[in-house]
Amino acid sequence: MSDLIGPDLARIEGPAKLTGNARYAAEIPIKGLAYAALVQSTIAAGRIRSVDARQALAAAGVIAVMTHENAPRLDRTAESPQITMFPLLQDDRVLFNGQHVALVIAESFEQATHAATLLAIDYERQPAIAVMPDRPDAASQETPKDFRNGERPPDSDRGDAPAALGTAAVTVDAVYTTPVEHHNPMEPHATIAAWDGDALILYNATQAVSSNQQALAKMFGLPPAKVRVISSYVGGGFGCKGATWPHIPLAAMAARMVGRPVKLVLTRRNMFTSNGYRPRTVQRVALGAAQDGKLQAILHEGVTQNSAYGEFAEPVGLASEMLYSCPNVHVTHRLTKVNAGLPTYMRAPGEASGVYALECAMDELAYALQMDPVALRLANHADRDEHQDLPWSSKSLRQCYEQGAAAFGWDKRSPKPGLQRDGALLIGMGMATATYPTNRSKAGALARLLANGQVVVQCGSQEIGGGTYTIMAQTAADTLGLPIARVRAELGDSTMPPAPVSGGSQTTASIQPAVQAACRALLAKAIDLAAQDPASPLAGAAPDSVTAGDGRLFLRSDPGRGVSFQDLLRRAGRSTLDARADSDPGDIKKRYSMHAFGAQFAEVAVDPDLGEIRLRRYTGVFAAGRILNAKTARSQMIGGIVYGMGMALLEHSEVDPRTGRITNASLADYLVPVHADVPPIDIHFVPEQDDIVNPLGAKGIGELPMVGVAAAIANAVYHATGKRIRDLPLTVDKLLA
């Protein structure tokens, strides 16, 4: 491979975004467009007795009002992990406050929004549980029926953890909680739906172009070829745009009802009730160790908030099964139902919440042992995945600890809490481990050589902000020996070869091998075309004797003997040459455990009088296989750490326990980090060669950097103050209590 893979390269779509030429789902110009506005329930549980739409229908510009009484019927058997069927105006049930109960379609957004306030809905209220208890009792807990989509059981045991805990020399046993959090990407959900006969086209803000197509085809009883989903740019998702949420088919239903294209853009308040959230968790973590710090027992029991319909289990205990060497491990996952919408994946699902609890418990154990927290983790380094009894495909976690400690200046940390000061401020240093599984799914790609010597590569993936356009172009240019300026990457269209959801940090690991394979297949076709041409300088050449560079094919032994791509097609009388390929991970996960790792280091300053916590500096060191673009990778790491800052210090969706209404459903009240909150963030990568995870050796990095951030900050706050806060976020009231 050439020098196109690895170095800092600017995003190729950057100019389009900076100049406003990058069109997002809500910005597509469509003739005859109508606008829709959601009407959402104001009760937490019950039934709709009646809907009086007369005033709304009489309002200026109103075209139609869609309710459960007149909405098109859908195939309710289509539900799957990527299809959230309820609520879709299919019956009169109300299961949470903010549930969609009607849709108003009008000539303008303003008219639809106004008319939505005019609907008179009469409810039959029923008892509801609006918030998850602080400590759910056993009677309220359920075992997940379809944990991890049925791929594994919700509970696991290695050895006898309860017995080992009872005989351990040093123990820690505590409960940690994380609150409901919402994704809040800059771009809200938006869908434009249009019908052409029995064919449906959607412009949609989604992390899952191919999955949206399949889901909508099932719902509407159509062949997949009759559904086209387009999503050229996505303004952030963080997980909430990964499923086919109800607003998407509702827009299509409305378009069919009124016989014209319909645009539905969710308001910020809608975003808190329409497309999932990180569920509240209550986690008991108990650790037992010998005096030398060697772990003897790990117990991790997680209870997760679930909805009154469907099932979503936050897999909080998965990292505890494999992160540290320990002979006795007990992990359980339970659910407790609440009258709220269905939770979903949020950046680093499972690991973000679960590693927070585990790594805070490890910090508590280090203090109980009077042992350095880094040394404790090194002492319990797992040289293989003891849960699956498999070797790692690669693992450089030791180097992450060592390089991170050196870069951060960990040796300057006082062993005892509350001793370091900067004037009146208390200074604390904390650290934690980061880990996230290396996932990969089947994906396809197409490579097309054009008559002008340029190449187009296509994949039905999506650009959600991570730099997928750029990495696709890099991979293609590198494989074909072209300057990157002569490659055009195209994605975000379900007519292109299918790709998986951009979730689970799998996009690069899944689609880049497919792009590489398609380009290799295209190169083989081009070489064969040249070899079959009697008048070509490469006539009769063996395939392995020819290579590509600078837009031409030439003999390895005689670079002067060759033909340009343009001349190749001209001589063959062709305008294009295409090749398509698929990439499939196969059964590699049955033979290796594949994860990315990292070490997180945080320094905080705490005002002892006001309880204000400020993050002063941060260091993250990560081992994630081959880094394909250092610039975009560094950006991903910084973004993930900032995301983790929000989890640690700010984010918490407040729910009124009487009504189930989210009371801070706006960016004025739901706090996320802004520039003034973010300190210098120092990012390092440990070089890592991994020929097992995929042909490019790249591991996913989208979610890795936020794992462990909340724990590192919480541990730093304890080091500064001597006060252990086990409930996120770390707010002033908890510190001063």
563-609: pLDDT as tens digits: 999 999 999 999 999 999 999 999 999 999 999 999 999 999 999 99
Q: Would you state the pLDDT for residue 1?
A: 43
Sign of CA dihedral 666, 671, 677, 682: negative
Backbone torsion region of residue 196, taken as left when φ is above 0, otherwise alpha when ψ lies between -120 and 50, otherwise beta: beta
Contacts of 140 (CB under 8 A, 6+ apart): 133, 336, 337
Q: Considering only 38-47, 48-57, 133-142, 312-321, which range has the smallest mean pLDDT?
A: 133-142
* HSE of 241, CA atoms in CB hemisphere, 13 A: 29
- Between CA 208 and CA 735, with CA 318 as vertex, the angle to 5 degrees is 95
CB distance 536 to 563 below 8 Å: yes
CB distance 237 to 183 below 8 Å: yes
**pLDDT at residue 637 tops 60:** yes
Share of the chain above pLDDT 70, in %: 98
Q: State the pTM of this model.
A: 0.97
In the chain, what is the straight-line distance between the N-terminal and C-terminal CA atoms, in Å? Answer: 58
Q: Would you state the pLDDT for residue 80?
A: 55
pLDDT band per the 50, 70, 90 thresholds, residue 308: confident
Q: Would you state the pLDDT for residue 248?
A: 96
β-pair partners for 431: 601
Q: Would you state the pLDDT for residue 126?
A: 97
Chain position carrying tokens 């398509």: 580
Q: What does DSSP assign to residue 73?
A: P
Cα separation, 39 vs 41, in Å, equals 7
Share of the chain above pLDDT 90, in %: 95
pLDDT band per the 50, 70, 90 thresholds, residue 78: low
Q: What does DSSP assign to residue 657?
A: T
CB distance 178 to 356 below 8 Å: yes
Q: What is the mean pLDDT of residues 690-695?
A: 96
- Between CA 721 and CA 725, with CA 723 as vertex, the angle to 5 degrees is 125
Cα separation, 366 vs 363, in Å, equals 5
Distances in whole angstroms, Cα of residue 64 to Cα of each of 32, 39, 224, 246, 450:
15, 13, 28, 19, 48
CB distance 288 to 171 below 8 Å: yes
CB distance 730 to 662 below 8 Å: no
Give pLDDT tens digits for 199-217: 999 999 999 999 999 999 9
Give pLDDT tens digits for 114-152: 999 999 999 999 999 999 999 999 999 999 999 998 889
Contacts of 679 (CB under 8 A, 6+ apart): 614, 615, 616, 617, 618
Task: Go through the domains of the chain in sequence order and give each one's CATH number.
Answer: 32-127+186-236+241-272 (3.30.365.10), 138-180+277-439+590-736 (3.30.365.10), 441-584 (3.30.365.10)
Q: Would you state the pLDDT for residue 87?
A: 82
Cα separation, 663 vs 655, in Å, equals 6
CB distance 503 to 207 below 8 Å: yes
**pLDDT at residue 3 tops 80:** no
Q: Would you state the pLDDT for residue 6?
A: 78
Peptide bond into 72 cis (omega under 30): no
Q: What is the mean pLDDT of residues 485-500?
A: 98
Q: What is the mean pLDDT of residues 380-407?
A: 98
> Which element (helix H / strand E) includes 195?
strand 190-196
Cα separation, 162 vs 316, in Å, equals 19
Assigned token pair, 324: 């540290």
Q: Would you state the pLDDT for residue 85?
A: 60
Q: Would you state the pLDDT for residue 415?
A: 96
DSSP-derived pairing of the beta strands 281-289 and 295-306? antiparallel
**pLDDT at residue 81 tops 80:** no
Chain position carrying tokens 């803000």: 205
Q: Would you state the pLDDT for residue 370?
A: 98
Q: What is the mean pLDDT of residues 650-667?
A: 97
DSSP-derived pairing of the beta strands 613-623 and 546-549? unpaired
CB distance 625 to 698 below 8 Å: yes
DSSP conformation letters of 211-246: HHHHHHHHHTT--GGGEEEE-S--S--TTTTSSB-T
Give pLDDT tens digits for 265-297: 999 999 999 999 999 999 999 999 999 999 999
Give pLDDT tens digits for 429-488: 999 999 999 999 999 999 999 999 999 999 999 999 999 999 999 999 999 999 999 999
Calculate Rg over the CA atoms of the chain.
27
As a whole number, the mean pLDDT across the chain is 96
The three state secondary structure string of 141-186 is CECCCCHHHHCCCCCEEECCHHHHHHHCCEEEEEEEEECCECCCCC
Catalytic residues: 703
Q: What is the largest CA-CA distance in the chain?
A: 86
β-pair partners for 157: 330
Assigned token pair, 110: 């303003």
